[in-house]
Protein backbone atom coordinates (compact mmCIF):
# COMPACT_ATOMS: atom_id res chain seq x y z
CA UNK A 1 0.00 0.00 0.00
CA UNK A 2 1.10 3.55 -0.80
CA UNK A 3 -0.12 6.34 1.46
CA UNK A 4 0.07 10.03 0.70
CA UNK A 5 -0.45 12.86 3.15
CA UNK A 6 -0.73 16.15 1.32
CA UNK A 7 -0.82 19.39 3.31
CA UNK A 8 -2.31 22.68 2.10
CA UNK A 9 -2.12 26.20 3.54
CA UNK A 10 -5.09 27.90 1.86
CA UNK A 11 -5.44 31.63 1.28
CA UNK A 12 -8.37 33.03 3.27
CA UNK A 13 -10.04 34.47 0.16
CA UNK A 14 -9.79 31.15 -1.69
CA UNK A 15 -11.28 28.63 0.75
CA UNK A 16 -14.57 28.16 -1.16
CA UNK A 17 -12.80 27.58 -4.49
CA UNK A 18 -10.28 25.24 -2.86
CA UNK A 19 -13.05 23.18 -1.23
CA UNK A 20 -14.94 22.94 -4.54
CA UNK A 21 -11.82 21.73 -6.34
CA UNK A 22 -10.93 19.21 -3.65
CA UNK A 23 -14.49 17.91 -3.29
CA UNK A 24 -14.39 17.07 -7.00
CA UNK A 25 -11.04 15.33 -6.51
CA UNK A 26 -12.38 13.28 -3.58
CA UNK A 27 -15.46 12.14 -5.53
CA UNK A 28 -13.58 11.24 -8.71
CA UNK A 29 -10.51 9.71 -7.06
CA UNK A 30 -12.58 7.41 -4.85
CA UNK A 31 -14.03 5.91 -8.06
CA UNK A 32 -10.58 4.90 -9.33
CA UNK A 33 -9.36 1.29 -9.27
CA UNK A 34 -6.79 0.83 -6.54
CA UNK A 35 -7.98 3.74 -4.38
CA UNK A 36 -8.85 2.59 -0.85
CA UNK A 37 -9.21 6.05 0.69
CA UNK A 38 -9.14 9.61 -0.62
CA UNK A 39 -10.39 12.16 1.91
CA UNK A 40 -9.87 15.83 2.74
CA UNK A 41 -9.58 16.99 6.36
CA UNK A 42 -9.50 20.45 7.93
CA UNK A 43 -7.18 21.21 10.82
CA UNK A 44 -8.82 21.47 14.23
CA UNK A 45 -6.50 24.37 15.07
CA UNK A 46 -6.13 26.36 11.85
CA UNK A 47 -9.19 26.93 9.62
CA UNK A 48 -6.94 27.45 6.58
CA UNK A 49 -4.86 24.27 6.98
CA UNK A 50 -6.03 21.11 5.24
CA UNK A 51 -4.72 17.59 4.78
CA UNK A 52 -5.57 15.20 1.98
CA UNK A 53 -5.07 11.56 2.97
CA UNK A 54 -4.77 9.01 0.16
CA UNK A 55 -4.42 5.23 0.30
CA UNK A 56 -3.50 3.42 -2.91
CA UNK A 57 -3.25 -0.34 -3.32
CA UNK A 58 -0.06 0.01 -5.38
CA UNK A 59 2.34 2.46 -6.97
CA UNK A 60 0.82 1.52 -10.32
CA UNK A 61 -2.63 2.67 -9.13
CA UNK A 62 -1.13 5.94 -7.90
CA UNK A 63 0.71 6.41 -11.20
CA UNK A 64 -2.56 5.90 -13.11
CA UNK A 65 -4.24 8.47 -10.84
CA UNK A 66 -1.62 11.03 -11.90
CA UNK A 67 -2.75 10.64 -15.52
CA UNK A 68 -6.46 11.31 -14.92
CA UNK A 69 -8.10 14.50 -16.15
CA UNK A 70 -9.26 15.44 -12.64
CA UNK A 71 -5.71 15.14 -11.24
CA UNK A 72 -4.24 17.16 -14.12
CA UNK A 73 -6.87 19.87 -13.57
CA UNK A 74 -6.17 19.83 -9.81
CA UNK A 75 -2.42 20.13 -10.33
CA UNK A 76 -2.85 22.98 -12.82
CA UNK A 77 -5.27 24.87 -10.54
CA UNK A 78 -4.66 24.30 -6.84
CA UNK A 79 -1.58 26.48 -6.27
CA UNK A 80 -3.49 29.68 -7.04
CA UNK A 81 -5.58 29.01 -3.91
CA UNK A 82 -2.59 28.43 -1.62
CA UNK A 83 -0.23 30.62 0.39
CA UNK A 84 2.63 28.32 -0.64
CA UNK A 85 3.06 25.14 -2.66
CA UNK A 86 1.43 22.07 -1.17
CA UNK A 87 3.58 19.68 0.83
CA UNK A 88 3.29 16.02 -0.25
CA UNK A 89 4.59 13.07 1.78
CA UNK A 90 4.67 9.50 0.44
CA UNK A 91 4.73 6.45 2.70
CA UNK A 92 4.81 2.72 2.14
CA UNK A 93 3.50 0.17 4.58
CA UNK A 94 6.10 -1.67 6.67
CA UNK A 95 5.49 -5.44 6.57
CA UNK A 96 4.98 -7.11 9.94
Instruction: Tell me the pLDDT tens digit for each residue of 44-83.
Output: 999 999 999 999 999 999 999 999 999 999 999 999 999 9
pLDDT at 89 over 90: yes
For residue 64, the tally of other CB atoms under 10 A from its CB is: 16
Q: Could you list the residue range(s) of the whole structural domain that residue 65 is in?
A: 2-92
Instruction: Tell me the pLDDT tens digit for each residue of 23-39.
Output: 999 999 999 999 999 99
Distance, in Å, from the CA atom of 96 to the CA atom of 92, rounded to the nearest integer, reads 13
Q: How confident is the model at residue 14 (pLDDT cuts 50, 70, 90)?
A: very high
Distance, in Å, from the CA atom of 96 to the CA atom of 79, rounded to the nearest integer, reads 38
CATH of the domain at 32: 3.30.70.100
Number of structural domains in the chain: 1
What pLDDT score was predicted for residue 6?
A: 97
What pLDDT score was predicted for residue 33?
A: 96
What pLDDT score was predicted for residue 93?
A: 83
For residues 91 and 4, the answer to whether their CB atoms sit within 8 Å is yes
What pLDDT score was predicted for residue 26?
A: 97
Amino acid sequence: MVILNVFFDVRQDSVADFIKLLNHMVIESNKEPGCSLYQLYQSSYDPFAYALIEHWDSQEALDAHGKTSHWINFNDTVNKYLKSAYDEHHYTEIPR
